[in-house]
A and B are shown apart, each in its own frame.
Chain A
Amino acid sequence: MSAREQWVAFLTIVTKEIRRFTRIWPQTLLPPAITMTLYFVIFGNLIGSRIGHMGGFDYMQYIVPGLIMMSVIQNSYGNVVSSFFSTKFQHSIEEMLVSPMPAHVILNGFVVGGMVRGMLVGLIVSLLSLFFTHLTMQHVLITVTVVVLTASLFALGGFINAIFANKFDDISIVPTFILTPLTYLGGVFYSIDLLPEFWRAVSLANPIVYMVNAFRYGVLGVSDVNVYASMAAICAFVVAFYLFALWLLRRGTGIRH
């Protein structure tokens, strides 16, 4: 396939993915908006006003970047894992496998589709947060870079999960038992500096801590960890996940006999 044909094929998958999640917007775009609004009301307004300040900011201001990242993580992961698994389940993956599309075009298409949903939900949540607090962006480039890297990393994670999944239960195990606990313990609602030394050290093993803090640094200018080291670590994970997903796809794991 020529580069131009590959570009058309890539755009076809991305368009298909966007069409899919916008067609079912009550399942994909509305729930995170409602959930995050509840977080803002309960944790930000009601409980947050009693907590006072954290990291030099109102509690509401402090948790908003974490909640935005939580939305990006869950939605970029959720989009790819459910879309690619459905494609496998309905055998419509065969439409792509019989075509001359190289594996990297298929992978890029699904990952970018997931990133678009993750970032769109992140944008919706950001706009909603403006009803509850005042936000200014301290480092635009860092903010955007961290969102893009995080969305791509979790879209890749969703893709790998879908490749290995054999039934619908398999696509909810990782989000329920790994992703959600790591996100809640990833410094979304608190600064890890508040933790005893032991638990702080344990938290540093949680990759989501770095993403949340790098994003918080971009928005608020404060972080519990080194931002540039965090971004380098996310980049390394993205490359590793990408190569692994591509290898699986080329090999036909879970999709070819």
Chain B
Amino acid sequence: MSALTIRNLTKTYANGVRALKGIDLNVERGDFFALLGPNGAGKSTTIGVISSLVNKSGGDVSIFGYSLDTERSLAKKQIGVVPQEFNFNQFEKVFDIVVTQAGFYGIPAPLAKERAEKYLRQLGLWEKRDKASRTLSGGMKRRLMIARALVHEPELLILDEPTAGVDIELRRSMWDFLTRLNGEGKTIILTTHYLEEAESLCRNIAIIDHGTIVENTDMRSLLGKLQVETFILDLARPVTESPRLEGFEVTLKDAKTLEVEVPKTRSLNALFVALAEQDFEVMSMRNKANRLEELFVRLVEQNLPGEQTS
């Protein structure tokens, strides 16, 4: 069964802006799904409609088979939402925020408190339970929103930019937490600007731009579409001009650094053989940009109609 099915979803705001122009999306149960797009592409509107914060103009949304139009209550019970902006009462205590959210789902106080403790502990916030939420750091506030979204134990967790403004160590621990949740069977949909995050965590991906889905496929197939990969090579000795290498585009960035575009049809072995023949010794090598980032930029710039594969 699909965790989320969206059919021909449209949204036109009161000011006439067409944020969604008929998108179709399918997310399977247990998936770890990335929804990417530039600012203003329609990601947050899509999440807003799914989480009932935005009224749609047309189309259908169903969550685990429950229609948002006709089985709203059942559909909403399946979702936990972690929004982009902090949206809890800044004056309430951490523990009260989580317990109150459980109450909104009809969970009796004793069970709500039990679950609040469980998730606050898992997210490293138990020691802060009696603090007013406004006193937490940015990373803690974000974890609080995750605990709040999980307290009614939804099957589908939607996270809108969950690691924005979070330091690297915390981001890694949040990735581990989300991976563990997904391993336990929770379906996760993620929007992020950190494409490394999407590439590391997600199995399937949709790219949205100008209110339409421009790509919707699995991560492996998407990365397979990358025609050229760019590498930065650090040389052992300084050079004055870039080497001429058949089949590769080479730019001399500085005396000891080369930037090389390697087509998918050529192997790295061929590159190193060619460099060795011209007496270039390479000390280290790295990707110029994240692979997904290269694809993302290309797709969004071209806004090509993507092949709908799932």
Contact = CB atoms under 8 A, between A and B. Distances in A.
B5 interface: no
Nearest to B79: A98
A101 B104 contact: yes
Given A9-B106, A90-B89, A257 B76 contact: no
Interface in B1-32: 13-14
Contacts of A19: 96
A99 B87 CA distance: 14
Contact of B88 (A13, A15, A92, A257): A92
Contact of A252 (B55, B87, B108): B55
A69 B76 CA distance: 41
B54 interface: yes
Interface in A65-105: 86-87, 90-92, 94-102
B53 A95 contact: no
A170 interface: no
Nearest to A94: B87
Contacts of B76: 98-100
B122 interface: no
A191 interface: no
Contacts of A90: 87-90
A7 to B, nearest CB: 8
A54 interface: no
Interface in A1-57: 1-2, 4-9, 11-13, 15-16, 19, 23
B55 A256 contact: yes
Nearest to A11: B103
17 contacts: A5-B107, A6-B106, A7-B106, A8-B103, A9-B105, A91-B86, A92-B88, A92-B89, A94-B51, A96-B104, A97-B51, A97-B52, A98-B51, A98-B79, A100-B105, A101-B105, A256-B54
Contact of A95 (B74, B101, B106, B107): B101
A166 to B, nearest CB: 14
B157 interface: no
Q: Chain B CB within 10 Å — which of A1, A2, A11, A99 has the most? A: A99
